[in-house]
Structure 1
Amino acid sequence: MIVRKSGVADVAVLAELRDIDGDQLDAYAAWVAAHARTHLPFVAEIDGYVVGAAWLLVAERVPGNGSLDRRYGDIQAVMVREEYRGRGVGRALMTAILAEARTRGLRHVTVHSGRRAVGFYLRTGFSHHRQLLLWEPPPS
């Protein structure tokens, strides 16, 4: 298995993994290109076939607390093809993304997980954080 940074060259497979329809491919490709500095896609390949992908959002908090550099990461859009689940693809993607986070000196990395994946993220080094709060607008 190979895990590598991805980008515009892989936009078709990235779109497929996100269930983006072909008629939206050009708009999706434009979004990927426009966000290339902040949204970093990674793909996992087996024998040249992309079997999974995950994104690292690199964002900044307002300077303060004695630091001007308060960059952090957020893992988004993790997808492993169903027939490749349980083979270490997700772990390999997380290893690559967290290595990138360390290289970039990010203060922390968050992930918003569905219930089924919480155990996976805990096993890859994430922990629950008591200070993370969430606001959502009321249903309309």
Structure 2
Amino acid sequence: MADVADVPALAELRGIAADNLEAFTGWVAAHTMTHLPFVAEIDGQVVGSAWLLVAERVPGDESLDRRFGDVQSVMVRESHRNQGIGSALMAAILAEAQDRKLLHVTVHSGRRAVDFYLRNGFTHHRQILLWEPPTA
């Protein structure tokens, strides 16, 4: 997992401008319990990152612990793509999800990345529905 020293690289990968780095650093610090950043490094340089959101569903009679995960913001620098870095990040995230005994992990993927997630163990699921507000 990433640490505080990785925040500038995480911000840069997300396209966050230097003048917003302090605000981003504050956001990362405020979300350490729910948003877990992972980084991939080569020769001490961050070349990719991914986040695992850990959230909870309302407890039920059968289980009080209904935590689940959501993969967010998977990014690999263009010069390092197609080298297994994204898959290594996903393996780390899914191992963390297993260690935390999460019920499941979701991902909201762009069209270009669907095959990547399918290769990394995700499946299409008929029960996940999406609502979006109407556009004005």
Provide TM-score, normalisation by structure 1: 0.95
Match of 1:67 in 2: 63
State the Cα deviation string for residues 31-87 of structure 1 (Å, max 9, x = none): 000000100000000111110000000000000151000000000011000011000
Q: Hey, what's the Cα distance between the residues in 2 that align with 1:9 and 1:136?
A: 36
Identity %: 71
| Residue ranges of structure 2 left out of the alignment (5+ in a row) | none
* Coordinate RMSD, CA, aligned: 0.7
Match of 1:132 in 2: 128
Q: State which of 2, 15, 20 in structure 2 corresponds to 1:19.
A: 15
Structure 1 ranges of 4+ moved more than 3 A: none
Aligned residue pairs total: 136
Q: State which of 2, 7, 16 in structure 1 corresponds to 2:3.
A: 7
Q: State which of 94, 103, 107 in structure 1 corresponds to 2:90.
A: 94
Q: Hey, what's the Cα distance between the residues in 1 that align with 2:46 and 2:22?
A: 20
Q: Hey, what's the Cα distance between the residues in 2 that align with 1:37 and 1:115?
A: 29
Match of 2:76 in 1: 80
| Residue ranges of structure 1 left out of the alignment (5+ in a row) | none
